[in-house]
Structure 1
Amino acid sequence: MTGVLTEAGVFVGGGGEGYAAPQELLLKYGNRHGLIAGATGTGKTVTLQVLAEGFSTAGVPVFMADVKGDLSGIAAAGSEGGKTHAAFATRAQTIGYDLAYRDYPVTFWDVFGEQGHPVRTTISEMGPLLLSRLMGLSDAQEGVLNIAFHLADSEGLALLDLKDLRAMLTHVSERAADLTARYGNVAPQTVGAIQRQLLVLENQGAVQFFGEPALELSDMMAPTPDGRGRINILAADRLMGSPRLYATFLLWLMSELFEELPEVGDVDRPKFVFFFDEAHLLFDDAPKALVDKVEQVARLIRSKGVGIYFITQNPADVPDAILGQLGNRVQHALRAFTAKDQKDLKRAAENYRPNPRFDTGTAIREVGTGEAVTSFLEAKGVPGMVERTLVRPPQSRLGPLTVEERRAVMAASPFGAKYGRAVDRESAYEILTARAAAAAAPQEAEFNKARRFEPFERPAKTTPTKGASSRSDSILETFGKSLARQIGSKAGQQIVRGVLGSLFRAR
């Protein structure tokens, strides 16, 4: 075996005596989705890197989230002087693989715009369902959010960023009586609860995520000059501090791929491959409606030529309805220290086509670091027999780039100028603010007229009795407050206070 790609598929690994013949993931079934599972430290990252290299060599663009910060090394070639070279060289010789180090075309992305080009989407593109998931809204709150989106659409109010959504929710609250009669109860308390959840999102850094220019998927899928697929790496180490934002972002990306890409049917290779690391975060405490949406996307998106690969510690983290659609599997070691672990191990083994040469459950428990139990789809999409496999070494660097190396890759990227600066065009916030100003104009005019009000004349030679001054002041203050309430303008109230203050000082 001389490279990462054969004529038909991505070479994953093999082995000597007791191990499998060369194992490869057939490109024509690369859009049938897959699973990379195993306990921490068993080699999932290397397998992910190997598959990304293989797809890129085949001209297939890839997206992956760098959860631990160690995938950036794909942009640099491995080195014979590296600390892992001796082990890699031995493994390569064992499986008959000609190890040749090289770098790969990488584009870095970052929701926070720090370790990659900024990734943005608009509130409208995210939609009420995913936003409700992101904010953990109740059914009643989600209903009010749907009303806000419907009203924005009907009135031509673009929802681009968080301040647009805040303004829209305030608009909904002000029209609560009218909207309640048309759509059902719109309680100010419910709107207030949503506004508080928006504040939580702001504190998690979502202000930078929502806005323009929004990410265009065609940029992630753009071919490189040498014909290899672009490897898009999302810096997710900081994003993991907001796991709900992380999961919702990746679900949004999956949904966008599903909605934007055309139907292609059966293809000789995928159009795009999406790796979802820490996949359990997508399903933890997820409502059934959301899990159903993921299942729908996973079931239908393969006809768009997109392959989705879930990476997680335990296959049990993935719901059965979705797990059943994952035809290409790499299972690293699972530990069985507790009764639950043993049950999960047995369940994982039952998901493979048995091999008479060994017990699958025992193999999953015993494989070492860099080894795996694999099963890839064969001719006509039939699951392959489970095999013990030594995963091939990666050609790119195992480990992260330096800060300077990452900056150099970003500087050479064709997307820095396009996404580097945020754009704030007229949208719901600006339009609603202008409406409020126009509505307040007659009140301001009325108030300006009131400002010319002449004060009452006092009797020229009256000696005030004790307490008269305070009563007079009280009357004036009461009059001023009443006038301010009637005018209803904050600016008007400030002017009234100024007028009264001058009256008091004149005395």
Structure 2
Amino acid sequence: MATSGNKLADTDEKIFIGKGEETAWLTLALANRHGLVTGATGTGKTVSLQVMAEGFARAGVPVFAADIKGDLSGISEVGEAKDFTIKRAKEMGLDFQPDQFSTVFWDVFGEQGHPVRATVTEMGPLLLSRMLDLNDVQEGVLNVAFRVADENGLTLIDMKDLRALLDAIAPNGGKKAADDEEDPLAPIRKAAQSYGNVSKATVGTIQRQLLVLENQGGTKFFGEPALTLKDFMKTDRDGRGMVNILVADKLMQSPRLYATFLLWMLSELFEELPEAGDLPKPKLVFFFDEAHLLFNDAPKALMDKIEQVVRLIRSKGVGVYFVTQNPIDVPDKVLAQLGNRVQHALRAFTPRDQKAVAAAAQTFRPNPKLDTARVIMELAKGEALVSFLEGGGTPSMVERVMVRPPSARIGPITPEERKAIMDASPVKGKYDTAVDAESAYEIIQKRIAGTAAPADGEGGGGEGGGLLGQIGSIAATIFGTNVKRGRLSTGQVIARNVTRSVTDKVIGGVVADLGKSVGGSIGGSIGRSLVRGALGGLLRR
């Protein structure tokens, strides 16, 4: 904490959050140590989130935030000098200056923002299993499906690709071995069975879960052009960080899809960004609203990896801020990584509530001047208990402060204002039209019709499956003899024959450049498919 004598304005090194007996400053150099904003409904969490987002944007740090109720959209419009905002600012010794911030709206459903898409390959079997709520056996079959797709040159882009692949690996009930010659998908079925018993019943269960996901809008999420996360990490012409807002009011009707999507984003950031060490300010700050949804019913293996990613992504220059009602919503291992805390009021009407208040109080460094547990229940709207990291990264003593008023508008914008912002967006036209390129579904249909080229290891004359055959397959793809638009077999052959470290350092960049020139966004994801998402990759390490 800084003393109240300091100038109450954001600087190149810190963000002014609020003022009580002491002034609350969030140090930019320690902002990538993550944070937590908690409090009961209606106590001011969204305003605190907006104040922090504005501060980061002023400092040139891009922001990504989920907007559950639409209230955060006002950050894109000039604030209004209302009586209560002017009064609160004066009480802090702050001159209220209306402001607005460059904003890009995103929407998984493409209705109130630019569409957000990922390919099935990028999502990977681990996160997809969580999204589908699969058990261990079903998750195992899904892993088999992804392995078979790799080995047979089948790119998984959208839902119909995954459905076609699952149909292809399902046992052909009632068929004898002699009938395999008449079944163009027999090599795929055999490959699947070689990894273990893949039953038709299990495949059917996964297909039904896919239907549930499709009914929740998952079809719109999977496809191309896939999101390039670097589009989140931009500054505007004035050097301010862009504020990226995920419109999540409709997405929240599918909590598992919402939580898995944001977890996928974290894993992609972890995978793509290089090590950065300690920076003067973060490269990106990520606000995860309704954070408890991330941890609900998550299996232990996934929980361990969430904790690992949260811990390690700090070194990539990314700060993660969870927003939820109570600190007990966040597992202890993750909570221990969150150094910057803002606690709004909690109400204790039941014994369980009283335990929650006590637990929240215990997460702060004690202040002899405050009875933290009592103050948490007394906080007025807009007040908060805060503790930010200082000095060598140690948490400051908890202080009671009034959060400063935001400079931009408080509350939602109109549909007309949203449309104007989207029309002027720096990514306008890049993601707005879906592309249905050739992928697993089309390739499987061609094989059934007898028009597709043989998969790796099938036929192909004297080259067989040896090294020469693999080199030939790479050359065939590069020079366009077998695979349309440069898709697939290059990445799959490299994935099977080049180690992870060599791929990351040498071949990944070459293949990504090749893919970008001839294969659209899937080319850019070939390198990523080698590890297929940070969480999936971590589990295999």
TM-score by length of 2: 0.78
> Which AA in structure 2 matches 1:253?
M
1:392 equivalenced with 2:408 (yes/no): no
Question: 1:6, CA displacement in angstroms?
Answer: 2.1
Question: 1:179, CA displacement in angstroms?
Answer: 4.3
The residue correspondences of 1:402-441 to structure 2 (distance < 5 A) are 402-438=414-450
Instruction: Determine the C-alpha separation between the residues in 2 that align with 1:289 and 1:167.
Output: 29
Which blocks of at least 5 consecutive residues in structure 2 are unaligned? 1-5, 172-185, 453-541
Aligned to 1:358: 370
| Distance of aligned partners of 1:382 and 1:286 in 2 relative to their CA distance in 1, 3 Å threshold | same
Question: 1:181, CA displacement in angstroms?
Answer: 4.8
Instruction: Determine the C-alpha separation between the residues in 2 that align with 1:358 and 1:192.
Output: 59
> Which AA in structure 2 matches 1:21?
E
Question: How high is the sequence identity, in percent, across the aligned residues?
Answer: 62
1:320 equivalenced with 2:321 (yes/no): no
Superimposed CA distance per residue, residues 383-412 of structure 1 (whole angstroms, 9 cap, x where no aligned partner) = 100000100000000011100000000000
The residue correspondences of 1:326-337 to structure 2 (distance < 5 A) are 326-337=338-349
Instruction: Determine the C-alpha separation between the residues in 2 that align with 1:26 and 1:274.
Output: 16
Superimposed CA distance per residue, residues 13-72 of structure 1 (whole angstroms, 9 cap, x where no aligned partner) = 003xxxx31111000001000000000000000000000000000000000011011111
Instruction: Determine the C-alpha separation between the residues in 1 that align with 2:9 and 2:73.
Output: 19
| Distance of aligned partners of 1:428 and 1:340 in 2 relative to their CA distance in 1, 3 Å threshold | same
SS at match of 1:273: strand
Aligned to 1:170: 167
1:144 equivalenced with 2:146 (yes/no): no
1:203 equivalenced with 2:231 (yes/no): no
Instruction: Determine the C-alpha separation between the residues in 1 that align with 2:231 and 2:347.
Output: 41
Aligned to 1:37: 38
Instruction: Determine the C-alpha separation between the residues in 1 that align with 2:302 and 2:378.
Output: 36
Equivalent pair of 2:145/2:192 in contact (CA under 8 Å): no
Equivalent pair of 1:375/1:385 in contact (CA under 8 Å): yes
SS at match of 2:194: helix
SS at match of 1:380: coil
Instruction: Determine the C-alpha separation between the residues in 1 that align with 2:429 and 2:441.
Output: 27
Aligned to 2:305: 293
Count of aligned pairs between the two proteins: 432
Question: 1:178, CA displacement in angstroms?
Answer: 2.7
The residue correspondences of 1:119-130 to structure 2 (distance < 5 A) are 119-130=116-127
Equivalent pair of 2:119/2:158 in contact (CA under 8 Å): yes
Superimposed CA distance per residue, residues 167-217 of structure 1 (whole angstroms, 9 cap, x where no aligned partner) = 110111145863465211100000000001111111111111000000101
Instruction: Determine the C-alpha separation between the residues in 2 that align with 1:94 and 1:21.
Output: 13
1:102 equivalenced with 2:99 (yes/no): yes
SS at match of 1:426: coil
Superimposed CA distance per residue, residues 342-382 of structure 1 (whole angstroms, 9 cap, x where no aligned partner) = 11111111111111111111111111100000000000001
> Which AA in structure 1 matches 2:165?
M
Question: 1:439, CA displacement in angstroms?
Answer: 7.6
Q: Which moved more, 1:29-38 or 1:199-208?
A: 199-208
Which blocks of at least 5 consecutive residues in structure 1 are unaligned? 441-507
CA RMSD of aligned residues (A): 1.3
SS at match of 2:64: strand
Aligned to 2:79: 78
The residue correspondences of 1:277-292 to structure 2 (distance < 5 A) are 277-292=289-304
SS at match of 1:254: helix
Equivalent pair of 2:144/2:192 in contact (CA under 8 Å): no
> Which AA in structure 1 matches 2:293?
L
SS at match of 1:322: helix
> Which AA in structure 1 matches 2:45?
K
The residue correspondences of 1:222-237 to structure 2 (distance < 5 A) are 222-237=234-249
Aligned to 1:465: none
SS at match of 1:336: coil
Instruction: Determine the C-alpha separation between the residues in 1 that align with 2:24 and 2:100.
Output: 23
| Distance of aligned partners of 1:229 and 1:177 in 2 relative to their CA distance in 1, 3 Å threshold | closer
> Which AA in structure 2 matches 1:379?
G
Aligned to 1:450: none
SS at match of 1:183: coil
Instruction: Determine the C-alpha separation between the residues in 2 that align with 1:431 and 1:184.
Output: 24
> Which AA in structure 1 matches 2:28?
L
Aligned to 2:476: none
The residue correspondences of 1:474-489 to structure 2 (distance < 5 A) are none
> Which AA in structure 1 matches 2:312?
L
SS at match of 1:109: strand
Aligned to 2:386: 374
Equivalent pair of 2:148/2:191 in contact (CA under 8 Å): no
> Which AA in structure 2 matches 1:151?
V
SS at match of 2:197: coil
Instruction: Determine the C-alpha separation between the residues in 2 that align with 1:177 and 1:156.
Output: 14
SS at match of 2:26: strand
Instruction: Determine the C-alpha separation between the residues in 1 that align with 2:206 and 2:40.
Output: 38
Instruction: Determine the C-alpha separation between the residues in 1 that align with 2:91 and 2:360.
Output: 28
Instruction: Determine the C-alpha separation between the residues in 2 that align with 1:432 and 1:180.
Output: 15
Equivalent pair of 2:12/2:59 in contact (CA under 8 Å): no
> Which AA in structure 2 matches 1:196?
R
Instruction: Determine the C-alpha separation between the residues in 1 that align with 2:130 and 2:440.
Output: 23
1:8 equivalenced with 2:13 (yes/no): yes
> Which AA in structure 2 matches 1:254?
L
1:117 equivalenced with 2:117 (yes/no): no
Equivalent pair of 2:169/2:192 in contact (CA under 8 Å): no
Instruction: Determine the C-alpha separation between the residues in 2 that align with 1:129 and 1:253.
Output: 14
| Distance of aligned partners of 1:3 and 1:205 in 2 relative to their CA distance in 1, 3 Å threshold | farther
Equivalent pair of 2:25/2:388 in contact (CA under 8 Å): yes
> Which AA in structure 1 matches 2:55?
G
